[in-house]
Amino acid sequence: MTRNNTELEIEQLRTTIEQHNRAYYLDNAPTISDADYDALMQRLLTLEAEHPELADPTSPSLRVGRDRNDAFVQVAHERPMLSLSNTYNYDEIAEICERTDTLLATDDVPWVAEMKYDGSSISLIYEEGVLVRAVTRGDGTLGDDVTVNVRTIQSVPLRLRPVAGHPDYTMGRIEVRGEVLLPFKEFERLNGERTAEGEAPFANPRNAAAGTLKTLNSRVVAQRRLLCICYYLYALDDETRLPDSYYERMKLLEEMGFNTGVAPFKSSDLSALYHYIDEWDVQRGDLPYATDGIVLKVDSLTQQRTLGNTAKSPRWAFAYKYQPENARAELLSVDYQVGRSGVVTPVANVEPVLISGTVVRRATLHNEEFIKSLDLHYHDYVYIEKGGEIIPKITAVETSLRRPESEPVRLPELCPACGAPLQQIDGSVGYYCVNSYACPPQIMGRIEHYCTRRAADINVGPETIDSLFDRHLIENIDDLYKLTASDLAQLPNFKEKSINNLLASIEQSKSRPFARLLYGIGIRYVGEGTAKTLARHFQSIDRLAQATDYELQALPDVGPKIAEQVVYFFSLERNQQLIAELQRCGVILEERSEETTDAPQSNLLEGERIVISGSFTQHSRDEYKQLIEQHGGVNVGSISGRTTFVLMGSDMGPSKRAKAEQLGIPLVTEEEFLARLNS
């Protein structure tokens, strides 16, 4: 076959396969048998392998996937991928719409209502109509480059279809955002396969989709038949070349070849928007994928820019969350999980039941007091609800169906992980394993905590830590700094790049801010705020280790319980050895000159203990925490008689409000707080 004939056949095969892909994945109307489709794909793969000079980044053959990808590279989003604030009733919707009218000086703002898909967010970048990059949401600022995996998703166009009359719309650089989902049918198939192979099933389609996107084997991604539903369309080079209407841009996405899911609805009439929400509350149960609410967005992109964003979420968009679903299931057994602090948490195993698109098999039981309040017995029929449609919890027991022989559920007397006695500490409702330095879940939990982003920020996940522990390569925090390339080479799926990345991350962690490392070491009751107070006052771990109970309690954020635990921690020889080993490994456990910028900028809030509760519009909770510390105050997590005031957001929890009112603690609004700082 001549080169021209080969090139022509390849082009025809690519076009034909893409047509069949659209018919199958977008129109749900297959036009060819699986066997015939496979024959076409195999022919294309063969020709492309024989003629690598004819490679094309948009070829449908790339959707098949590769056996192995390198570790994912982090990429900065050109526009932050913010999260949405939530509403739960129509009064809250009306309040936001009224506030938006005021900010825009109009009473006729068109809103677009659309389905809220329960998957994993993705950003797709196209240049001159060709997909060049796909990035996960990550922390909203940085995400993982998963382009190789996303190319295997059939509903993601590798090349955009031109828009009739507007060929420029697909040119230049555009960004499309969407949600990657695993349809229920595929979720059940996948979990069936995993169970048959002795692997743990995924908890829900969202976790399965997110995990699949981060899979290192893109052939696996291709086999799992993910679905991508898209909504945002931005022109990164010149926003003005696209229509100003979000609703019209949704139509453009369809023309370009994207799946946009359930048809959105546009109106400035609140009653019409409520009707759409109510209608889909009933109909969403028939959808083939998971949803958990409705998103409302200001239609005009110009008005969106006028409204702007808070640090965490846009002011021009928010979510309405449907009421959580519940179901009845039989309690089969109870497991007991041990956390890093030794607390033992009972978890119910129930017969599988579908709630909000998730097959629920487990639900939290909190503690022994909660179990007693339910009078829970084995094989009871219990009612399960997904709080916030995320964490399943048992809300009630159907005692009329209880079997006469059923035994009550009781916490064990010994640790389920190591066999040590369980004790109740400090009069709390929880029971703890006292074998803190030899109990495997506690050891691994402390190491995982130390590696978190807010502590040492070491880029290693729980599964890798488990593998290292199982191979006796780490047994304490300091062992992380003794790992070698040959140690890491023993781990599954760890190649040269993964090994180098992890070793570099461990090395970088040695110079993290002292307060973060102190928080990561995991002294009981020492949270982030207290760690900052201790680091700022004592300046080094050596001086902190010599501190007396009296010196510690003199600090604004340190009470008797915290002081006792700090003194006790440093009194133990094993902890003294840990600190010495960390220092020997080069970990800097003292304040450095560049960290002095954390010092208070004023004493306006000096001596004040402030609780933050609720959601805010002008700053995020973390930013308010920083403002409090910058002005000499202390952010505390719970309300007590020592609390000065509560910085109250729009959806402050009713229990916190009641406690504040009971204790006579002032409730300060966001506006009042900022006015005080600016006075």
3-state secondary structure of 410: coil
The answer to whether the annotation marks 667 as part of a ligand binding site is: no
The answer to whether the annotation marks 375 as part of a ligand binding site is: no
* Contacting residues for 395 by C-beta, under 8 A, at least 6 apart: 326, 383, 384, 385
From residue 462, alpha-carbon distances to 415, 446, 450, 521 in Å are: 21, 11, 12, 17
* Contacting residues for 410 by C-beta, under 8 A, at least 6 apart: 368, 371
* Contacting residues for 399 by C-beta, under 8 A, at least 6 apart: 375, 380
The answer to whether the annotation marks 341 as part of a ligand binding site is: no
The answer to whether the annotation marks 487 as part of a ligand binding site is: no
CA neighbours closer than 13 Å in the CB half-sphere of residue 229: 21
The answer to whether the annotation marks 420 as part of a ligand binding site is: no
The answer to whether the annotation marks 34 as part of a ligand binding site is: yes
Check if the beta carbon of residue 137 is closer than 8 Å to that of residue 122: yes
The answer to whether the annotation marks 230 as part of a ligand binding site is: no
The answer to whether the annotation marks 254 as part of a ligand binding site is: no
- Residue 325: which of 277, 381, 273, 395 has the closest Cα? 395
3-state secondary structure of 533: helix
**Cβ neighbourhood burial of 235 (10 Å; 0-12, 13-18, 19+):** middle
Check if the beta carbon of residue 319 is closer than 8 Å to that of residue 295: yes
Token digits of residue 282: 């009933």
φ, ψ for residue 448 (rounded to 5)?
Answer: -60, -45
Per residue, the 3-state secondary structure of 193-257, as one string, reads: HHHHCCCCCCCCHHHHHHHHHCCCCHHHHHHCCCEEEEEEEEECCCHHHCCCEHHHHHHHHHHHC
Q: What angle do CA 28, 31, 34 make, to 5 degrees?
A: 95
Strand ranges (DSSP E) for 65-141? 74-76, 85-87, 111-117, 120-127, 130-136
- Residue 180: which of 118, 257, 250, 115 has the closest Cα? 118
* Alpha-carbon dihedral angle through residues 514, 520, 521, 526, given to the nearest 10 degrees: 90
- What distance in Å separates the CA atoms of residue 393 and residue 374, rounded to the nearest whole number? 12
- What distance in Å separates the CA atoms of residue 386 and residue 353, rounded to the nearest whole number? 12
Tokens 């920083």 map to which residue?
A: 626
The answer to whether the annotation marks 415 as part of a ligand binding site is: yes
The answer to whether the annotation marks 137 as part of a ligand binding site is: yes
- What distance in Å separates the CA atoms of residue 45 and residue 39, rounded to the nearest whole number? 10
The answer to whether the annotation marks 97 as part of a ligand binding site is: no
Token digits of residue 359: 């097959």
DSSP 55: -
- Residue 252: which of 179, 316, 157, 148 has the closest Cα? 157
The answer to whether the annotation marks 35 as part of a ligand binding site is: yes
The answer to whether the annotation marks 299 as part of a ligand binding site is: no
- Residue 355: which of 306, 308, 390, 380 has the closest Cα? 390
Amino acid at 151: R
Q: What angle do CA 91, 94, 98 make, to 5 degrees?
A: 140
The answer to whether the annotation marks 56 as part of a ligand binding site is: no
Which residues are annotated as catalytic? Answer: 116
Q: Can you say which residues are annotated as belonging to the binding site for NAD(+)?
A: 34-38, 83-84, 114, 137, 179, 297, 321
Q: Can you say which residues are annotated as belonging to the binding site?
A: 34-38, 83-84, 114, 137, 179, 297, 321, 415, 418, 433, 439
Q: Can you say which residues are annotated as belonging to the binding site for Zn(2+)?
A: 415, 418, 433, 439
